[in-house]
Structure 1
């Protein structure tokens, strides 16, 4: 029978040495620790901040490329285009209104009243201009301030008033479409004008004036000459306005121009509408395409595309009925 020697119990120092050996072994076989940034990236799914930024840039580029292929923003009207379109529409409406017979008659009536008023004012000023010349003739050397001298100032005004009565009556009746061309009135007009012309010119004629001056003669004839011109031309102007035809379709009214100007546009819309119907039948356009799709498919302008869209909509409405 053999006797075994009991194993001595390990001391605390033995435990410490064993733990130190284990730590050294683990430190020798363990991999090197990761940097803090890489460790954080591993915890977040294996992507670093730089990778995420580049991935976002690539995704943004793909989205921008997809949006740039869409031409719809190019078909929208800008503020400047809308202002121009509104101005063009207003100009077209005004042009159309100007061709209306009632509007043309109203415009002619306004212009006629203005011309008659200016002519009568000019006639009154011309007769007033000749008053001084007539006063010199009528006074015939009377002393200044004498009754004869004062009476001479009244000669031209009462002749002018009589002349203005005749001219005014003829002008008013002419604007009403009833020209007054009685020979007696015409002779009365010319009689007063001849008196005014003669009394203005007499003191300054050669052989009568002490010292003849052509410029003084012309200056004193200016008033009567203007009066003669107005009395002569006013009836002609009134007759021309009375003979105006304000109906639409007369030469120069603009109706022919308006029809011819719209013909090419209408023909283009009809042709483009026919093309759009063929594309719809072939399946290249939807049954009720918008203006943007029509513009891209036909390669036409936006106005034409809208007109084609409206024409197709009218076709659909008629088919539903």
Structure 2
């Protein structure tokens, strides 16, 4: 019997190599964990506690150099940053011309509404005084006594028509400063004031007291104040610029366009002979129903009209 010796054994296949590696990994994982190091001779509980504190201190020292926790925003910082960002946005919005124009328009309407309501209440306050004057001692519930209650209401309604029209047109940028309307306002207010005050004037009232006189003229005085102040307030709003840098905005351009339109109308009146180019500003104001400043601008524009060939005066 002969035996053949093969000096070069065959190479293992990939499947055999994978199986061998799996066996080695299984053996390594199945080895029991190494037991904790036995305490050294003479190492007491106090020593082990101190050793743990020293190890903890080394770990804390390594982590202390990391500034990442400091860079994070706390809830208080985030709240403050949010509030600052919102304040900056509101400040920028408050300087926006459109926002400023909207705020001015809202405030102007609010003031006009409050003024008209106050005027209505002031005229209602004077109703009793006017009724006492108009009744002239008529018995209660007699026709003269009843109709006397209607005097103040129809005067107030007529006055409110004029004041309301001027207020509405003033809000729309077209102030109505016609002298006839102003005279009508003062006529109604003068009648209301006179009828309230007359029965309580000195040498008229049987028992004159200043307090009674002031009490009865309070309503007409408030009405006079409102009618006088309202056009001035509306004129100030009409001349208001909404650009914080002082640049005229849309309402100013519309005002300039209105002046140009009135100038064209005045030029037509001059050409048709209804006005003279040398007329004063007051005549232009009455003919066009505009303010005195606008009338002066129109007068100067016509006097420097190239068609006349004359320099401005």
Q: Give matches, 1:141-290, under 5 Å.
A: 141-250=137-246
Distance 2:140 2:244 in 1: 64
Q: Partners in 2 of 1:147 and 1:199 — Cα distance? A: 19
1:102 Cα offset (Å): 0.6
Q: Report what 2:119 is aligned to.
A: 123
Q: CA separation in 1, counterparts of 2:232 and 2:37?
A: 104
Secondary structure of the corresponding residue to residue 163 of structure 1: helix
Mark the runs of 5 or more structure 2 residues left unpaired by the alignment: 1-34, 248-313
RMSD of aligned alpha carbons: 1.9
2:64 pairs with 1:64:
no
Shift of 1:70: 3.1
In 2, the alpha carbon distance for the partners of 1:43 and 1:201 equals 113
> In the TM superposition, what whole-angstrom CA distance separates every residue of 1:156-194 from its partner, at most 9, and x where no partner exists?
000000000000000000000000000000000000000
Deviation at 1:43, TM superposition (A): 7.5
Residue 143 to residue 45, structure 1, CA distance change in 2 (3 Å): closer
Aligned residues: 211
1:103 is matched with 99
Aligned residue number for residue 50 of structure 2: 54
What's the secondary structure of 2:246's corresponding residue? coil
Structure number with higher helix proportion: 1
| TM-score (ref. length: structure 1) | 0.63
CA distance in 1, matches of 2:154, 2:180: 19
In structure 2, what is the equivalent of residue 134 of structure 1? 130
What is aligned with 1:94?
90
Distance in 1, matches of 2:192 and 2:76, equals 63
Structure with larger Rg: 1
TM (norm. structure 2) is 0.65
The 3-state SS of whatever aligns with 1:220 is helix
- Give every structure 1 segment of 4 or more consecutive aligned residues whose post-TM-superposition deviation is greater than 6 Å: none
1:250 CA displacement:
2.2
CA drift at 1:63: 1.4
